Structure 1
Amino acid sequence: MIKRGLVFILTSIWFSSFGQNVPDGFLSNQTQIDSLSESSKYDDALHLAFQNLEIAKREGSHLLLGKAKSKISHLYFRKGDYDSTTHYAKQAMNLASANKLPEVMTSALLSLGNVHYSKFEDIDAIDHYQKIDSISERYGEKNPHVVNALFNLGKVLLRTYSVQDTSYVGKAERYFRSAQKMASEIGNPEEEHFGYIMLGNIYGQRREYEKAIPYFKKSLAYFERMGSSKRVADIYWSLGIIETDLNNYEQAEFYYKKRLDLLTQAGNPEEIANAYRVHAGFLQRINRHREAIPYLEKAYDYFQDSDAGHSGILLGITSSLAESYRKTGDFEKATEFYSQTLVHQDSLDARKQKSLALDLEAKYQTQKKEQEIALLKSQNDLAEERKKNQQNILLGGIVLISLVALSLFLLYRNRQKTNKRLMELDTAKSNFFANISHELRTPLSLIKGPVEQQLENTRLSEEDKQNLTIAKKNAERLTTLVDQLLDLSKLESSFYKLQVGRGLLSQFLKSIAESFVFQTNKKSQLLNIQISIEEHLYWYDADVLQKIVVNLLGNALKYSPEKAEIHVSANIGDGNLSLSVKNTGISLSKEMLNNIFDRFHRSHENEPGTGIGLALTKELVELHKGKIHVKNDADSITFYIEVPVHENAFSINEKDMHSEPTTYQTPYQESEIIDSHNNESVSVEHNEAKDIILIVDDNEDIRTYISSILHNKYHVITAENGDVGFQKALKQVPDLIITDLMMPKEDGLKLTKNCKTNDTTSHIPIIMLTAKTGDENRLQGLEIGADSYLTKPFNNKVLKQTVQNLLESRKQLQKRFSQEVILTPKDISIGSYDQRFLESLQTILDEQLVSSNFNAEAFSVAIGMSRMQLHRKLKALTGQTTSEFIRGQRLKLAAKLLQESDVNISEIGYQVGFNDHSYFTKCFRETYGLSPSEFSKNKTF
């Protein structure tokens, strides 16, 4: 009753704000429509909405017509009828635009944006939601539709963030807070408390559960009071997930049961069936398979009987049932549901193929008609043009030819003289640059060598070391200038030739851009990187393109003030790379802008510089057959380049046909390409040349000293306390950690406990390095999980040997795992948290391995880690990359099926997740030395 009264009040305010009299029947229907929609009775609500449409037509009110049509579009969206949603939303939008009705505009745009959102067309969805935000600012419009648009903007961003760019999480949070603030301003407590749910999800995404839980409980109290069973059930679900992740299984089960009871009372069969599925998944995770079976069977009964095409859901349910029956020893039932799993997989594949065929046919017919129309139009235009031109060609041609011939003769004579003089000047200048550059390199080498040698002397005073460091930096700066001068001379003398090869352009650009992060942090600048390029192979000269990007970014960082924003974006269109570099906080005069690419011109008069970098950049862009230009705004400068990256843009002499596809990656970055033999996503992880060592100590000198001991053999990263160290351990997943015991904020004991109790870091060996002596301190460190305990002052040889021994023991463990046919963590000496991780990993493989869509990305989502974290974790435990691990498990499952069943060999590959039979055969032979058919005949292999 409370909620129904609130709906009526909000509806009354909604209409009264327009200053028009609303017919009683219309307002009464609107209140009932909202109530019916809340109860999911959409057909009844639509009936009343069409009644309101007729009332609006009789009244002749544009406002009421727009309201009625936008409400109908919202109801059709709830029913999942997107065509009808779009039809009525566009009608409402046209009416609102013509009569300047911002409330109707925002409502109609929300329906259209929601359709794109549901179809995962994120760019179009964001476009519609941002238009709503613009209308709100322009007209000062604040209403529930604007609030919903802001919430949806945040949700779209949440599902598009990546490991490389997690800034979208923060952007989503800002939209949620804006939506919540507006909901409070317009007196809409329901949306305000929905904002608490969204903020809880933000902190849950970050695993900051101590911040997430209060938000969920605050919204829970409100929605329980309002009787909103759907919202309450969703909150219970979120709390259940958090408690499960915290290993509070009893509390987690309490929330899952509460959710199920609440949805059962509400009576929506599909939501109840989904709740059964979720509860069963929780029970399976904690190995209570017998209890999970009844819930899975209830869910199976509903989705099997429903006529909604739930093949994907049924695939998951039957797979889970088969696994639970197998775990409980009922192999007959397990076999039955494994068979059902194969049937649903085939159904999904067939549906995808049919949809693809229809889509291709429609595109073909459309393209064919457009080509016919264009051809007819072109023929008609050509005929008309011929008629007009034939009369004027003769006379005009004679006059024109005479004038052009005379002009060309005069221009040619003058141009010859001018060009000859310019060429002489350019040649002399280029020769000077080349000669002086070569002469400078010898003394530079003689300066840098002794300086670097002196810096290695540990007996240097701090003042001497500082002076020598300054000398070294300036020598390096002068070396860069010399290299630029040489490049210019090569370009002008035509010695600089393109040498393009194939490479992963996205990785290449991200690696260059990310290498500037440290410099921007030093100046408190924000570097925003948006590389929207698919992981395909493109053709480019890596050396030329690297110099272009480095020059543009270096220029942007150099001349931008502190706390400025620098934006780098790149995308591919029509076979061309479009890249822009924007730096804020500065602007140029029109005169400076016109001369910015001239040699020795300084764009910033008050800044030091030679004026070579941008001139060289322009010539390199043109060498790569591209274009560059600059745009100046009130407080920013943006450089735009466009260069071709497709094979046909380059001649055979410019291409390195023998080069292998190259990648350009920072040390611990993962990328993804599509295997030409298989449609599954294959992870291409960097082959780490060195193990990663994390040093955690609050004393900077100690960090520097240990780094100097280890940096030749290992990749070293550092942190100043246990809190920062744990965050770096989560992000980088090092191979070993060396930590001090006593530190501010969080000490070494807290760091060790955090690492050893987190699935991402539990496998990492930890050396406790401290000045506290005594057996009780050593025992405390070892009990908390440290693998070794060394006291200060320590012997550097002992430290290096301890590091080597611990890393070698991990490598021996990797060999054991790589030899196992199935994961058997209990048979190998590992920690309980690693054992739990591998058991969870095995559960995920049992449920999802047979799906062809199961790749590194899906694996990381299922296990709850980023792709880099999962890669590092698997590499440490098994010695295999994520893709190698998935492929290996599929081949092991295939071998087992070949030995234990008589299924057709051509179907085995599809059953274990391979889409291409020849690729499956190739991988199988590489692993087992036999083809699948040969392996199947030798059952005792």
Structure 2
Amino acid sequence: MKTFVAMKGFIQIVFLFLSILGFGQELHRLDSLKKVLKYQINETDKHNLLVLIFDSYLYENLDSANLYKNQILEFSQNDILKKMDAYGLASKYHYYKYDIDSSLFFTKKALDLAIKIDSDSLQANNYRRLAILYSRKSDYENAEKYGKRALEISKSIGDWNLIASANTMLGNQFYKKNNYDIALKYYLKADSIHSTNRDKSRFAAMVYDNIGSIYAELKDERALRYIDKAFTTYSHIDDQEGRNYSYILRAIYYQTVGNNEKAIENLETAKEFYENYGNSFRTKEIYGRLINNYSSIGEYQKAEKYLKKSESLISDSDTNESKLELAMNAGQLYIDQAKYLKAIDYFNDALSLIEGGVTNFQLSYIREINKGLAKSHEGIGNYKLAYLYQQDQLSITDSINKKINVELTKDLETKYQTEQKEQEIALLKSQSELAEQKQKSQRNLLLGGIGLTSLAGLFLFVLYQNRQKTNKKLRELDVAKSNFFANISHELRTPLTLIRGPLEAQLEQDDLNPAEKQNLSIAKNNTERLETLVEQLLDLSKLESGHFSLQVSNGDLPGFLKTLSESFSYQALQKKQLLDVVISIDDDHYWYDQDVLQKIVTNLLGNALKYSPEKASITFCAELEAEQLALSIKNTGVNIPKEELAQIFNRFHRAHENETGTGIGLALTKELVELHKGRIIAESRLGSVIFSVKLPIAESAFIASEKSVTIQNYKPVYNVSSVEVPFKVITSDQSVPNGEQPILLVVDDNTDVRTYVSSLFDNTFHIIMAENGKTGFRTALEHVPDLIITDLMMPEDDGLKLTQNCKMHNATSHIPIIMLTAKAGDENRLEGLETGADAYLTKPFNNKILKQTVNNLLENRKRLQERFSKEVILTPKEISIGSHDERFLNALQDVLDNQLVESNFNAEAFAKALGMSRMQLHRKLKALTGQATTEFIRSQRLKLAADLLKKSNASVSEIGYTVGFNNHSHFSKCFKEHFGVAPSDYMHS
């Protein structure tokens, strides 16, 4: 026992001695700590020593830190708090090693333990770590979610350290979005908290780093001031990694302001540390900046050396961001050396690494890529493409500058320090005092009443727990039910397609007898009823999950209601019912959601006609009452008891037990009315039932997010409802010879759907099929079809990804794409069209509409062929085509301008110049111009010759040789075949 006490005293003396040293003389300190470990000491002291040694190595040598990290993990398994601490240290180690997935793994394990022991502060800390890690993985949605959660908990417990850290992390999110003014607000708030608490930790230094980074981007000298403050803090706590990171930030500032020599000096200093430290991410960052700076001062050999070093560090496991930056650095190096073709290759590689669409986080990258491509194409004399890329760069630069809000950002620091800093300090003090007072009050109350309230408290606690569990189970059941409705509705659409399509095909047969036609019509009517039920289930699931949002717009309300109500006239006529429509609304425009109002009126009028006997009267009235639409639907011949009326809007309740139905319609109607901020009541009196609805229709009744917004920059695409070309589908006796048939690619993960869609076109197309978007894209590249019909929801790559891939690739960008989907709704349709689909049909689709859509897309393509075939110089700007095809045609014209007149310019050389295979180019040109590659080259040469014959004084044979014909007689023959006259006659005509 005496030995243990003496040993414990010795350890305390060692810790006191080390703290007096102020963490100086690092090597001596580490040796002392390792010696203490050899003594027989208790587990807590040993754990603390291991943590101290690990922390010391963490910012000096990651390999050494790893040894002690493993010891800490092994040593801490039997104590939940030590285990949680060990997981946190392991997460930190892998973060600095830039092994983000492993860091996430340990952080999640630490969070699970924090939740288990119900520690708010530890939960907040781990949510903060998760936010940082997801940000590193470019998963900004999760990063923002966990960041806000960390800040919320931190504020609730009043932990200033966690509040400051959470503010720093949220600032990082806006910094990456180029929202510098918002990011700086968060950073300055964190700085204020650290300063108030006189904190000189690594976290405080990192805030200075972040503020310095913003000012470096703005080329503001204040960057150096904050970087120096960070360096001083890192030096105070003997943080080697932090000090060397300050060298990198100084280099970034000097590079931004054009002082490449000073940037290189700082980078070379940091390089020596990071090459030995073991953080490949920072090492690659340093190499990349050395490439840029050495290249800028003309020292290309050194720049090439660091390019090779960077490439050697890149592995398959690296993020796209690392590969992207390497490609951009290489591209800039080759621009500086005037090696423009190599630069183009690297910048195109960089562009291919941009994930998904253009987001806030990718704007800066895409701007620099466009800038590099513009310079490169200008360097090789390709001024058209250079101009296009430059315009894209300027557009993105404007967008970034709007986000940066430079003047506001530069003035923000002063404003914040004079106004917000004092408020933050006062807030923190008041929170601290409040928390202290709250603790005292709670303690006194607890001690004073513990004897009287213990049993009551236990009872209430058990009751509360049971209620919480019950509510949780009910919520889970509700979510599961909504998901079930949504999933089963989507699943029903595919079999409905396979039922309705063949039924419609049979009903079109001329040789059907009346009985067969009646039976098929009954089956078709029931598929339509099933479709209605599917739509109602989907609407219910959307309403329950909160995904059914109100979208009101300014429209012609009386005209809309008149059209809706009159569509029921035929149904009333069939049952010999009298439908009376009275619309007392001035001809004017009012604010309402067309989709919601249509569903409300359709459900109520449909029910009124359905449940009323023959010769009954149905009255539909609409009028205005104090900026509200008042609807009344009355049907005679029926009566509903009061007890039934009380439940009529409940789901799956049927007021008419003798009638079939699901009981969904009225429940859905009530929820839609409430969504539109209205109310609905049902009354039954004197042999009639009356439904009364009141809905607001004034603009002031709706908030901005509920108003339908016109989408800017949206390029109109083909719309099935506005067909201009007459419907012509080739029948079986008009079949084209198989070798000349157009190619149709059908992509769907359902074998029956693929087979059925293929059967609709097997006489007019050569059909090829694929089971998912990934295989579909490979098939499209291999065969280059004339048209693609694809499903939306598929495994591997879905229809959106397939469309995006096809529209981005030169070989397939021209192919019209029809998207079939079980997902109804304007938002899904818009997503498909924005991705590049030319038409969007909801399952179950109408066979005629699908065929008509296919026909019109091909007719539109034929018009383009006719237009292009007449042009000597391709002018895509004057013709409505996609931007990717426009870029392809610009590149094609550039190749023709430079190589067409070469006698050895043939199909193979043409394809190589455009980076395509001969087959891909053949199919592409056939689709755009109607000509094979060889025919296209010859026709372009002849058009150029015809132009020269009119404008030049050269002889016919000279012009023939000029445009690439080696044989005079062959040139004359081809010219006469194409223009109908000999070249000499054409010259003098």
TM (norm. structure 2) is 0.36
TM (norm. structure 1) is 0.38
